[in-house]
Amino acid sequence: RGRATELPRPLPAITPMTTPALLPLSGRRLPPLNLGASAFPHHRATLRLSEKFILLLILSAFITLCFGAFFFLPDSSKHKRFDLGLEDVLIPHVDTSKGGKNLGGFLIHGQGHDEHRHREEEERLRNKIRADHEKALEEAKEKLKKSRDEIQAEIQTEKNKVVQELKKKDSKPLPPVPLPNLIGINSGEPADPDIREKRNKIKEMMKHAWDNYRQYGWGHNELKPIARKGHSTNIFGNSQMGATIVDALDTLYIMGLHDEFREGQEWIDKNLDFSVNSEVSVFEVNIRFIGGLLAAYYLSGQEVFKIKAVQLAGKLLPAFNTPTGIPWAMVNLKSGVGRNWGWASAGSSILAEFGTLHMEFVHLSYLTGDPVYYNKVMHIRKLLQKMDRPNGLYPNYLNPRTGRWGQHHTSVGGLGDSFYEYLLKAWLMSDKMDTEARKMYDDAIEAIEKHLIRKSNGGLTFIGEWKNGHLERKMGHLTCFAGGMFALGADGSRDDKAGHYLQLGAEIAHTCHESYDRTTLKLGPEAFKFDGGVEAVAVRQNEKYYILRPEVIETYWYMWRFTHDPKYRQWGWEATQAIDKYCRVSGGFSGVKDVYSSSPTYDDVQQSFFLAETLKYLYLLFSSDDLLPLDNWVFNTEAHPLPVLHLQERRQTLDKTRPLNQASTGVRNEALHI
C-alpha cells in the first residue's frame, strides 16, 4: 500500500497469458475459477502435510503433559496413595536412636518400618488433627448462625487488628537525641493587669474555636462553623487528617490549655494515619503537619509527635524524585506519585513551596541522625545558587524537569514569600553558623529593595510584584509578613544597616495597618492597590475578603518584640476586637467576603492557620518576652516554634555518649553539618 497522498499508477495492458496473481488484489474480488484437479497436481499432498502437522502438534502436547505429570505429581515414595483419609497424612518420624531429634525424615502410616515408628507420637498427632478439624467445623457452624451485621463487625475487628499491627511495625524506635536547651515554654504572664485581661480574652477566643471544632469537625481538616460540620480543601487531599488538631497543638500548649492538648495528642496517637490513597500539597503538609508535630514534640517531649513527623516525612520524600531534585508540588501519600499544579507556569514548581522545607527537614535530620532530609534541601539550595537570576530576583516558577525558570514573575507575597523567610531563618536556626543562607538572604533583599519596594504618593512604603519587566503596584495581605522579616533580619545585616531594616519593617507595618484602618470592618483585604488616588485599598471584588489571615499581626508581634512601641499592641487589639465582632459566630470563627461592607457575608470556613498563627501571634503580642524568646526559638512559616540548634554542643555530646565507628561517624557529621 502506498502513502495516502500518492496518485494511483495506470495498470499495464493484460495479455491473455497474464495470470490473476499479477493484479493487485486489494481493489477487487476475483470470480471463482473451476480449474479442475489437474490444474493443481500437488493439492492433496499439501493437505496431507497439514494434517500431519496438526497430528504432530497434538502428539507434542501429549508428551509435554506426560512429562509434566512425571515431574509435578506427588511422589509415591512420599505418599501412600492419593485418596488418603484425614488420618493418613504426613507424620513426623521421631527416631529414638538419635535422641528424638531427627527433624529431616518423614514416614507414612501404612508403609512398614514399624520398628521405627513412635506409635504414641503418631497417635497424639492424629488426635490433634482430628480435634483441630472438629474445632474448625464447629467455628464454621457458629459463623453460619450469626447475622450478616455480626459477621461484618467481626471482619472489621480483624481488619483493625491488622492495621494496628502495621502501625506498630511503622513505629520504629528512633535513636535517643538530647533535646536542645528549651527556654521559655511556659508562663509569659504580663505584669500589667490590662494586658493580662486582653491576653485572657485571646485565650478565650482560642477555646471557642477549639471547642466548636471538637464538637462539630473533630478529625476533619477544618471546620465550617455556620454549617457546623467538617471542611477540607484540595491541599489535604481527600482524607481526614485532622489538620486543625495538628496545627493547633503548640498554641494550646503555650496557652496552658493542657486538657485540650491531651485530647489532640490522643487523637493523633490513635487516628493519624499517613498510609492513605490521598494526594496532598508537599508544602502545606510540611509546614502544618511536620512543623506542628515537631513543635509539639519539642514543647511537650512526647515521643509520639516525633515518630509521626518522621513517618510523614518518609511519605513526602518520593516528591523529590525529579530530574533536577526540585520536588513536585503534590504527592500521593500511598503511591508516591508526584505532579505539579495545573495552573503553574509551564508545569513548574513554586518557589515558595520547594523553598520552604529547610527548617523542618534540618530538624528531621537532627532528630533521626539521617542526612537524607538535610541533603534534599541542600541540593535545592545548591541548584538555586548556580542559576542566573534576572535583576538578582528569584522568579516564582522553576521547572523540575529542565531546571529552568518559568514565567518571570517575582513576588514577596504569594508564590515567593516564605522562600526569603526561610533563608533568614536557616541562618538563625543554625545559631547563625549557616552564613551561606545569610548571604543568599542579603543578596535577595538588596534586589527586592532595588526593584520592588516603592513609596506611594501618600508616603506609604509598599512592596510590589515584578511581572515580565514591569512593576505592578499592588501588595497582598500575604506580603505583610515582610515587615516582621525585615525586623528579624536587621541584626547581622550588611554594612551595619540594622537601623535601616528595622525602619523598613516599621514602614511596612504602618502600610499594612492602613490597609486595615481604611476598611469598614477594620480588617484587611486580601490585596490592595497603590494606583493614582487609590492607596492601600482593594479595588476588585475578589480581593476584598478576609479569611482570618495572620501576616499583619505577625509583623505587629515582631515589631513589638524589637521596639516595644505600644502602638503595635494597640493595633493588635484593634484587630482582635474586629475579629471577635465580625468573624465570631456561635459555631466558631469564619472569614468574611467583603471588609468594606457593614453587613458582610461569611465564607463559612474556620481555617486551621487561624488557630496555629493568628491567635498564637496575638497571644504572644500580649505576653512578656520570656515566652518563646527569639534568641532560642525560630518560628516556621506556620508559626510553629522550633528551637535554635547549637550543633557544636550536640556533636560534643554525641562524641561523649555514643562512640561510633568511623563510617557511622561520617554519616552523623553529615547530618549535623549545616
- Residue for cell digits 549545616? 674
- What span, in angstroms and rounded, lies between the C-alpha atoms of 344 and 405? 12
- Residue for cell digits 486595615? 516
Whether 284 sits among the annotated catalytic residues: the reply is yes
| β-bridge partners, 476 | 527
Residue (of 293, 427, 274, 289) closest to 358 by Cα position: 427
Q: Is 244 annotated as a binding residue?
A: no
Catalytic residue among 417, 442, 465, 613: 417
Whether 123 sits among the annotated catalytic residues: the reply is no
Amino acid letter at 459? G
**∠ at Cα 387 (386, 392), nearest 5°?**
115
Number of H helices, E strands in the chain: 22, 21
Whether 526 sits among the annotated catalytic residues: the reply is yes
Catalytic residue among 442, 514, 526, 554: 526
- What span, in angstroms and rounded, lies between the C-alpha atoms of 399 and 419? 16
Residues 6+ positions from 55 with CB-CB distance below 8 Å? none
Cβ(553)–Cβ(575) below 8 Å: yes
Amino acid letter at 572? G
Catalytic residue among 222, 360, 421, 551: 551
Amino acid letter at 122? E
Give buried/exposed letters for 227-254 (b at 16+ CB in 10 A, else e).
ebebbbeebbbebbbbbbbbbbbbbbbb
Cβ(389)–Cβ(416) below 8 Å: no
Residue (of 518, 625, 637) closest to 578 by Cα position: 518
Whether 260 sits among the annotated catalytic residues: the reply is no
- Residue 289, Cα to own-chain centre: how many angstroms? 8
Catalytic residue among 250, 260, 284, 465: 284
- What span, in angstroms and rounded, lies between the C-alpha atoms of 480 and 550? 9
Any idea which residues carry the catalytic annotation? 284, 417, 526, 551
Q: Residues annotated as binding site for Ca(2+)?
A: 637
Q: Residues annotated as binding site?
A: 637
